[in-house]
Amino acid sequence: MNNKLKMSLLTILLGALGFADLLGAGATFPQPLYSKIFAVYEQQKGVKVNYQGIGSGGGIKQLTEKVIDFGGTDAYMTDKEIAAAGAPIVHIPTCIGAVVVAYNLPGNPDLKLTPALVSKIFNGEINKWSDPQIAAVNPGLKLNGDIFVVHRSDSSGTTSIFTDYLSQIDPTNWKMSKTFSTKSKLAVGGKGNSGVAGLIKQMPGAIGYTEIAYANQNKMKYAAVQNSSGVFITPSLESTSAAADVEIPADTRASIVNTKARDGYPICGFTWLVAYQDLSKNPAKAREVTDLLKWIIADGQAFTRELDYGRLPQSVAAKALANVNSIKVN
């Protein structure tokens, strides 16, 4: 059965069951935000959107196979992936996710980390909290015990943002990847954000990375990280948005980790919706897709705060809108 037939069958099936007018699939990282946005969108515009969180890789694959109207991904599509898609693809950033370095230390002290400390702690070079390099950045803080590194065991966009950051600040020791591997002997992997959060909360001396939303929900302490301008930035939705307010290419395919923005938090990244640029074969559907995308980058941004995602700064929203407008609808 060819893919076109599969797609039309699926659409007819879902349509007949009253499931959805538009189909999307991909990244799980922004799924809570998308669920909220699509629910409100259905109430206001009467258009049903079905988004399945199957992972970024799956989203790109299904878009390429043309079984969905748009995909969601935490890592922008590479030139190779776009070539495999067979036609131009537009990237629409929808929000910014921050990855925080959360820890469990007695007395919940505030911790400051430099890029070098982050890299060395996570690859096991520094394995005691009493290490003088930590004390040098955190004068007056008396810590001791082993450092336990907690990471995601499942492949995820969160790991990809975190390793993207590590590879920018310490390219000899790290490579960007969706799976985390470390030389640390005291490292454990937790399944999902909830697994990582659970392990950090249980283990005194643990440090790990997780999405800001999970850290906030679990009331975990997280570190202020020094950015490329030398300022220690506590992760927040404001400092996340600020990080994205830099010069990025028109197609928005850019990594914003280790941002040049002075008040930007350095460990964060866009998440995108991706669609084919030429949707003129089905003008009615094309109109629905573009309307939805426009709504997400304008009205939809209002929901970012309550769900702990960074709002797109004006400069990026403008580029996103230009990309939506570049979609050929008829």
Binding site for another protein (CB under 8 A): 54-58, 60-61, 146, 148, 153-156, 175, 177-179, 181, 186-191, 195, 198-199, 202-203
Cβ closest to another protein, residue 11 vs residue 159: 159
Cβ 128 to another protein shortest distance, Å: 13
How near is the Cβ of 5 to another protein at its closest, in Å?
22
Q: From the CB of 270, what's the least distance to another protein, in Å?
A: 17
Give the whole-angstrom CA distance, residue 296 versus residue 250.
Answer: 18
Distance CA 228, CA 216 (A): 25
CB closer to another protein out of 188 and 246: 188
Please say which residue, 61 or 319, places its beta carbon nearer to another protein.
61
Least separation, in Å, of the C-beta of 183 and another protein? 10
Strands of the sheet with 232-233, listed across from one edge: 112-113, 224-226, 232-233
Residue 148 beta carbon to another protein: minimum distance, rounded to whole angstroms: 7
Nearer to another protein, 133 or 179 (CB): 179
- State how far the alpha carbon of 314 is from the alpha carbons of 72, 226, 248, in Å: 21, 25, 12
Nearest Cα residue to 90 out of 247, 249, 286, 251: 251
In the beta sheet, which residues pair with residue 25? 52, 71
Q: Which is nearer to another protein, 7 or 203 (CB)?
A: 203
Q: How far is CA 116 from the centre of its chain?
A: 23
- Runs of H (alpha helix) within the chain: 3-16, 31-45, 56-64, 79-85, 115-122, 132-137, 157-169, 192-202, 212-217, 237-244, 283-297, 314-325
Closer residue to another protein in complex, CB, 56/259: 56
| Least spacing, CB of residue 156 vs another protein, in Å | 7
